[in-house]
Structure 1
């Protein structure tokens, strides 16, 4: 059911693919060599040769069928960076590639070979639809694709697509499946009679968890610059490198978990960013959806989604990083004990009994929400180096998809001793995403300092772009004022001052509250 929901909520602006940038040491492989390398391993991920088949009249969830016209060259593409080939050019390219939706009539994945990256490196850009993989599954699949030669095969050359079922056959199978749901209920009832106490306890735990998850979303999330507008189709992408050992040292010094420390760093970065945008942070607590994998150890490497979620509070009103960490750690302990993740999984499982067209409408309603401000996902990756055709992967930077009113997302992945943050933003709303990259580095350094940790590998912001010039403030101290304070100052202001403020805001924050105040004052004249 959850796999299908990612298809139903996707539209021309909300693209539901997960993605990543992988940076490798050494010269890039020849395009034909890359095709051979990937083609010899596709038998390990059969769904990478399957496309979607829609059930007529929306009477069932889409099915995976073999792509009769499968062409590896369509999915594996080659490009190069313009000079000087820095990571800034790579970020721009990644933002553009990640802005394009995947074709529904083809297997839902792409890999781009990127040449011309400086310092003797090259990159791969990977895009895979969320209906195909969740974050953990996606990393497992990357491990498979980078499998050693002894796991390769020539099966790809002999693979033959199975005939796709007709529309009538798909409809018939879907209706038959729906007719068997009551039988599933009978089997469940028999199981209850065999083990009533055990199943009743499981049901009660799921009910409590579902209630906790629903209750956590009852109060609306505060309005922020990255929630005011609907996202467009275009993206910006950037990243920050950190050391996993440094993050663990902070955890050991101040308490909490690695995930608590990561959330505290994100909290500190968002606080800096919102203050610079003129937000009034008094008493403000943001809500972050934190996806949680419920994939069993024996399911690692399997495709599909085994993911649930918890709502984590981010106290951006708190200026003390240690106090913020304590608040987040305590809140996350309560969230975990409440069973939110189990409850969220139970709620998504309910959609398995609904027709596809009903799931589609429900998914779109749920996605257009004001219950969370952003998604922050932390994915454990392999802690040994991966190689592809003898070339070691140095870094991986993940990307989480954006929702219709969620213009900012943060994805974190640990790999071979590193902890790398991928930041994705709507191209227009998050026009200053590179500033948030610097904020995250500063927040990490502040938390490490508070823990008394001399970071072995300080956080490194990816952008080498020059700082954006904000221009001259309309009056001294303007940037330190809140929207409410500026609104008060603008009451009765003359056209010259209103013009200066309007020009400054359009160059920088574009805060709607201030622009509305200017419009109000101009309308009075």
Structure 2
């Protein structure tokens, strides 16, 4: 019996368009050393690990007449060579060239007639390094039945464990009559199927009406030569092209700021984003036009019996933070951001960063995907999504090649031309920003602005421990928070 897509997954598919493809991506850079890591070894590695993510060999099959939600079916013509691709930069390839290649690849939607994922092996980087770019559609990764493929490709040592033979054989594709019969059977035996279908159908109609209204509004604005409506310069319509910005920083710097000010590394990350946005907006003459704060969705990991359990040992919940863009002092910005998390910490539901980082496997790729699902569900309640996921602080390997950097490339949602993902790994904190190429043509400036904001906070910590503002309690922080 084929598994039926859940209403939320159907909604994600309905919300997708050529200007807002709903896939998460990750760029990982490797030093092959003497491992011989090349495209052939990657294909072998992926083939060896696909058994852990069976959904990556399934595609979506609609039901005739939309009698019920679509189902997952085995791809009887599954072609691994289609999904694992090879690319190259002109040697010696720079990080700027890699970012440009990544931006072009993530701008393209995935083919819905095939399993919804791709991996690119990128050769030609300087110093003999190579990169992996993975794309997985949000409907693939729910953290319950399926985790991101990036989580299963990496090992904790250069020696790759040998798995048993993969005896996967695709099940026969269901006929249209079988699909309709399954829909009728599920409707009779499971009343929830009828409700799910009704919700999905109604949601599709409403999203179609909303999309038409948005398009009409853009035409009116263009004819009137007006700027798109919105409360912020980071709210507006999307084009079909992306820009990717990456920034590598040291975890030791974040920890130094944490110790000096009695906050968490997550607070430092968000304060860095606040300062970076402030400097960037000022560089384009925006911050003095009445912008006092930017409302951010920062998904957090929690233990909550009322939320759907995941295979990662925790759930992901929405948490909102108002970044004080108007505040000139980096220290005051830091404490204001930190204070917004105090109530969340005191609920006892929060999961510490050290616990997340200690989870088996490389969970950040999956957590970023789950954060993007939360962002899609809540997109009208915030202006910017910032997903920060702590990762392991020991090196990881793919077929013996050591991973030296990892950058999240989160998707853009309609109306949100900027999003930020952050991953800490092996002594580094890696910021990955996705921006709309047309709406934010100067997004590259955000990289230097983030570095300057972190340097400001670091300067404030070098003079010794700084007291928290009066009336605010110092917060206990986990070792790796």
Q: TM-score, structure 1 length as denominator?
A: 0.68
Aligned partner of 2:250 among 240, 243, 246: 243
Aligned partner of 1:436 among 422, 446, 455: 446
Deviation at 1:14, TM superposition (A): 0.7
Aligned partner of 1:264 among 260, 267, 271: 271
Aligned partner of 1:90 among 74, 84, 98: 98
8 Å Cα contact 1:31/1:78 also seen in 2: yes
Equivalent residue for 1:12? Answer: 18
8 Å Cα contact 1:140/1:301 also seen in 2: no
Aligned partner of 2:385 among 368, 375, 385: 375
Between the aligned partners of 2:445 and 2:267, the Cα distance in structure 1 is 23
Deviation at 1:367, TM superposition (A): 7.0
Aligned partner of 1:106 among 92, 114, 118: 114
Equivalent residue for 2:471? Answer: none
Aligned partner of 2:170 among 161, 177, 194: 161
8 Å Cα contact 2:160/2:400 also seen in 1: no
8 Å Cα contact 2:92/2:127 also seen in 1: no
In structure 2, the gaps of 5 or more residues are: 1-5, 194-228, 351-372, 465-481
SS in 2 for 1:107: coil
Q: Is 2:326 the counterpart of 1:320?
A: no
Deviation at 1:274, TM superposition (A): 1.0
Between the aligned partners of 1:232 and 1:322, the Cα distance in structure 2 is 37
Equivalent residue for 2:369? Answer: none
Deviations 1:454-490 (A, max 9, x none): 9xxxxxxxxxxxxxxxxxxxxxxxxxxxxxxxxxxxx
Deviation at 1:392, TM superposition (A): 0.4
Deviation at 1:387, TM superposition (A): 0.9
Equivalent residue for 1:81? Answer: 89
Aligned partner of 1:407 among 414, 417, 420: 417
Equivalent residue for 2:435? Answer: 425
SS in 2 for 1:101: coil
Between the aligned partners of 2:389 and 2:64, the Cα distance in structure 1 is 37
Deviations 1:428-465 (A, max 9, x none): 112111101110000011011112279xxxxxxxxxxx
Superposition RMSD in Å: 3.2
Between the aligned partners of 2:186 and 2:400, the Cα distance in structure 1 is 47
SS in 2 for 1:242: strand
Deviation at 1:340, TM superposition (A): 12
Aligned partner of 2:160 among 149, 165, 179: 149
SS in 2 for 1:237: strand
- The 1:175–1:269 alpha-carbon spacing in structure 2 relative to 1, beyond 3 Å, is farther
Equivalent residue for 1:506? Answer: none
Deviation at 1:385, TM superposition (A): 1.4
- The 1:146–1:137 alpha-carbon spacing in structure 2 relative to 1, beyond 3 Å, is farther
Residues paired across the two proteins, number: 390
- After TM superposition, the structure 1 stretch with the greater mean CA deviation from structure 2, 375-384 or 413-422, is 375-384
SS in 1 for 2:56: helix
Which protein has the larger Cα radius of gyration, Structure 1 or Structure 2? 1
Q: Is 2:49 the counterpart of 1:48?
A: no
Between the aligned partners of 2:246 and 2:456, the Cα distance in structure 1 is 18
- After TM superposition, the structure 1 stretch with the greater mean CA deviation from structure 2, 68-77 or 330-339, is 330-339
Deviation at 1:117, TM superposition (A): 0.2
Aligned partner of 1:253 among 260, 272, 278: 260
8 Å Cα contact 1:246/1:453 also seen in 2: no
Deviation at 1:373, TM superposition (A): 1.3
Q: TM-score, structure 2 length as denominator?
A: 0.74
8 Å Cα contact 1:9/1:367 also seen in 2: no
Between the aligned partners of 2:346 and 2:181, the Cα distance in structure 1 is 44
